[in-house]
Structure 1
Amino acid sequence: MRLSKSTIACASSALVLALLAGCGGGGKGHGPCSAAGGCGNNGGGNGGPNATTISAQPQNQSVLTGATATFTVTATGADLQYQWLRNGEVITGANAASYTTPPVTYLDNAAQYSVVVAGKHGTVASTAASLTLTLSADQQILEETLLATDDSSYRVRWNLNYSGPQNAGVNFAYSERSNVSASPLTAGPQVATPTLPFNMTASLPVIAARPTRILKDGVVLVVPGVQEARRYTYVGSGIRTESLASDGTTVAYSFILSDFSKVALSGAVASTPAEMAQWFNSFWSNAAVLTPGAQYLAGAAYTKYTSINEGDRYDAFDCTTATVTANITPCFSNITLQAAMTTGIPSNADARTYYLADGVLTTVGGVPVWVANAPRPVAATLTSTVTYRIYFELNGNVYTGALTRDGAVVGGTYYVANPTAPAVEDRLVFFPYQIRLNKAAHDSLKNALAL
């Protein structure tokens, strides 16, 4: 049963300091609206023994983004009917003693939920209950640096020799700083565009990262290697981060970030915890990189987290000449993918030749794509991220790339644990986590560099 518009209007007005009097309904016992006794209690009068009353009001709820919240009222009286309202507006179909919201978004933060209860002997409006979105522990750690105006999240990029001197034009160490201007919890998706690279050395020029190219929906997207914009959204207890293509709008690929921890740094830089020192590998393994006696600045800390690939991601690579645009170089022209795979395509990086029978030929976004059955060797990827060699046909050409499957853990860097081991996989330890520095930690590391 649903309440009439006039009944809802009458009772919901009682929410506003019970200002209405004589809301209609007529009959014996006709009286003013009130949150205690209802509107026009027929037979019992306001506060009478048969009046429609609320004995337990809806309670405030606090939930994570994407969760649901349930509001409940307890009422007594005969022939009870219910109508829930959000910010004073009727919620269609919400006609029970409890109301459960759809998965909530930032737009629902601070929303007010109330209910009108109508019975045989009157109508009564509840007090309003608030819905508040709350941060998870992971989201709180993220905001401690990404949102803070006096701090930042620093990503360090480097290529440094494990021993001996560094070579200008080959080796480098630089950083990028990212911030968002508001919390995704209450302001919705936030885009962070990193700064231009900060050179962390005095002697080595910056060599900026090359762009990433992604095959998606039948086209090749370019994600800039410098100032790659990322959009942050909260999903349950985690954080979705979407890498945007060069147009600043199209999502090229995305991750779910979780398992955050924040570790304080103090004392000598040389005594940095192993998980950070090994993750940055050559900074600590090469005795010529850090200045002896360097100390961490007050407040230094790093954040460690796990990054999970969301959705299948198809990277597109140059097969021959290196390019930086969407016009990647093909492996073959004027040939079908099936014909090329039947003949076999050699991959120098993977140290093998791939044939049609070594994988599955499928269609992705309208594009024929062949995906290898076996993962690429770690000697080729130098990461713990599991990827699969792909070849695809586009505009009469055959190109190459790699597939990272949905749910794959995105690995960080690696540590040389056994330099004398004959095989790469035996020499290196790969880390399945990511690390970012706050400003004090970044400045401490930069100040400690002897390069």
Structure 2
Amino acid sequence: MKDYKKRMVIKPAILAVSSALVLSACGGGSSSNSGSTASTSNLSDAQKNYESFALTSNGGLHFVEGSLSFSTSSAGALSVGSSSTFFTTDSSIAQSPSTGIQSMIAGTTSLSSTLKVGTVSNGRQVVNGTVYVGAVPEQARVSYAGPNVQVDYLATDGSTVMRTLLGTSYTVVSLSGLISASPSELFTNSALGLITNTINGQPLYNAQANWQAGAAYIKVVRQTVGDELYTYDCASPSTTGNSPTPCSATISTLESFFPYASTTDGKTYQLSDGQIVTLQGVRAWVANSVLGGSTTDYRVYYQYNGGIYAGYMIRNGTTVQIAPLGGGTPQQNYYFLNNAAVQSIKSALNF
């Protein structure tokens, strides 16, 4: 499950220039296998639906991500850019969490035989006063909390819990017939919709292709557990480790930092625009107004290692949301394919 990218949203961009097309978005599986032999009599409907996809024997969950760049020659031949990606981030568990906490098995798979898998980053967060980097591939522990599915995502050290998501709703939708006649929500609200575009009238997939038997997707609603503090480079140089570049290495207190002109946000913050609190073990200024991500978030500046660093906060209990592929009002469902659906898409692609 891919949920670590900044602000946790699919960020689509469609650009058509002459005969070139650039499409991007960021970022399911079941079969006839019976899965875990553990009894499901005590599981909630959400947990039963989750296992119908998530168990390794059922094919796992597959979240579509991609960035597509195409062009056509003067003769009309379609070619794909070498930097293009169209892939799934995959996750599964070996047994039912009803038998005990399960370790997530994670990876990535290209949907196109001609494309490489894109670069995946699971971001950085401040946890108990320390900056941690998310593990790639994802490392996570899956358990059941009441009727819900709890996933604890780990840092690169394999033990520190960076964030916890509580899955409260899992709705399975079967797929059959033409891929092109699928429910509009699947193409609108997931990166799978990238393939519905055309370039100079040429389709990116076979619109006459059908879903394979057993194909399905699952809609997942999740919420955060605990206040989350994400951090990143406030200025150059760009970094990837646990030492992000601060906004100021010489100012050590928040009271002396403001007013601050944020080029990222396009506004100047005053001290009175937020509240100073203790957040994830650091002294932090949290803006009063929302920042504007798909998932409700707030600008944060915090004291760390003698400087002031930038970040954003997602509050405890916030429903994780995603923006539709073409933009618009964020919605709360994340869409995952099962294995039969993934194989259907692979067979239908024209690139």
With structure 1 as the length reference, what TM-score do the two structures score? Answer: 0.63
Q: Judge conservation of contact 1:162–1:286 (CA < 8 Å) in 2.
A: no
**Alpha-carbon contact 1:312-1:406 (below 8 Å) kept:** yes
Question: How far is 1:355 from its partner?
Answer: 1.9
Matches within 5 A, 1:225-244: 226-244=136-154
Judge conservation of contact 1:167–1:204 (CA < 8 Å) in 2: no
Cα distance, 1:184 vs. partner? 0.9
Greater gyration radius: 1
Give the distance between the partners of 2:178 and 2:68, measured in 1 at CA: 21
Q: Tell me what 2:100 maps to.
A: 188
Cα distance in structure 1, aligned partners of 2:151 and 2:216:
22
For 1:347 and 1:447, the matched residues in 2 are separated by 47
Q: Are the aligned partners of 1:210 and 1:324 in contact in 2 as well (CA < 8 Å)? A: no
Aligned to 2:243: 327
Counterpart of 1:134 in structure 2 is 42
Q: CA deviation at 1:237?
A: 0.8
Structural mapping, 1:418-429, within 5 Å: 428-429=328-329
> What amino acid is aligned across from residue 154 of structure 1 in structure 2?
H
**Are residues 354 and 166 of structure 1, via their aligned partners in 2, closer, same or farther at CA, if it must alter by over 3 Å?**
farther
| 1:400 Cα deviation from its structure 2 partner | 0.5
Q: Matched residues in 2 for 1:285 and 1:151: separation?
A: 25
> Quick one: which amino acid aligns to residue 173 of structure 1?
F
Distance across 2 between alignment mates of 1:146 and 1:334 = 48
Partner of 1:176: 89
Contact 1:163–1:285 (CA under 8 A) maintained in structure 2: no
**Which ranges of structure 1 fall in alignment gaps of 5 or more residues?**
1-108, 111-131, 417-426
Equivalence for 1:367: 282
Identity %: 29
Single out whichever of 250-259 and 334-343 deviates more from structure 2. Answer: 334-343
**Which residue in the other structure is 2:183 paired with?**
273
**Bigger Cα displacement from structure 2, 348-357 vs 304-313:** 348-357
CA contact under 8 A between 1:375 and 1:386: conserved in structure 2? Answer: yes
**CA drift at 1:295:** 1.4
- SS for the counterpart of 1:414 is coil
Q: Identify unmatched segments of 5+ residues in structure 2.
A: 1-37, 73-78
- 1:152 is matched with 60
Flag the 1:396–1:133 CA change in 2: closer, same or farther, 3 A.
farther
What letter corresponds to residue 189 of structure 1 in structure 2?
Answer: I
Instruction: Name the aligned partner's letter for residue 62 of structure 2.
Output: Y
Deviation at 1:205, TM superposition (A): 3.0
Q: Partners of 1:233 and 1:315 in 2: how far apart?
A: 24
Give a deviation string over 1:167-210, Cα, whole Å, max 9, x none.
432x421113222111111x211110302x21112444322122
Partner of 1:199: 110
CA RMSD of aligned residues (A): 2.3
Distance 1:203 1:428, change over 3 A: farther
> Which residues in structure 2 correspond to 1:46-61 (within 5 Å)?
none
> Are 1:354 and 2:297 an aligned pair?
no
Give the partner amino acid of 2:297.
Answer: T
Amino acid at match of 2:89: E
CA distance change for structure 1 residues 342 and 142 in 2, over 3 Å: closer, same or farther? same
Mapped contact 2:229–2:279 kept (Cα < 8 A): no
Q: Measure, in 1, the Cα distance between the counterparts of 2:70 and 2:310.
A: 31
CA distance in 2, matches of 1:350, 1:449: 39
2:230 matched to 1:315?
A: yes
Matched residues in 2 for 1:272 and 1:337: separation?
54
Change (3 A) 1:162 1:343: farther
Deviation at 1:403, TM superposition (A): 0.2
Q: 1:135 to 1:356 in 2, by over 3 A?
A: same
Shift of 1:152: 1.7
Once the two structures are superposed, the pairs formed by residues 20-419 of structure 1 within 5 Å of their partners are 134-160=42-68, 167-169=81-83, 171-185=84-98, 187-195=99-107, 197-224=108-135, 226-280=136-190, 282-287=193-198, 288-320=203-235, 321-344=237-260, 346-377=261-292, 381=293, 383=294, 385-416=295-326
Shift of the alpha carbon at 1:284? 4.5
For the residue of structure 2 that corresponds to 1:252, the secondary structure is strand
Deviates more, 1:306-315 or 1:329-338: 329-338
Which SS does the other structure have where 1:215 is aligned?
strand
Residues 163 and 286 in structure 1, CA contact (< 8 A), matched pair in contact too: no
Query: Compared with structure 1, are the counterparts of its residues 150 and 365 closer, same or farther at alpha carbon in structure 2 (3 Å cutoff)?
Result: closer
2:52 maps to a residue whose letter is E
Q: Which amino acid aligns with 1:255?
A: L
| 2:11 alignment partner in structure 1 | none
For residue 430 of structure 1, give the secondary structure of its aligned residue in structure 2: coil
**Secondary structure of 1:306 counterpart:** strand
Q: 2:338 aligns with which of 430, 438, 441?
A: 438
User: How many pairs does the alignment contain?
Assistant: 302
Retained in 2: the 8 A contact 1:415–1:430? no
* CA distance in 1: counterparts of 2:232 and 2:211, whole angstroms: 40
How far apart, in 1, do the equivalents of 2:69 and 2:190 lie? 12
Using the TM superposition, give the Cα deviation of residue 161 of structure 1 relative to its aligned residue in structure 2, in angstroms: 6.3
Q: Kindly tell me: are residues 211 and 255 of structure 1, through their superposed partners in 2, closer, same or farther at Cα, counting changes over 3 Å? A: closer
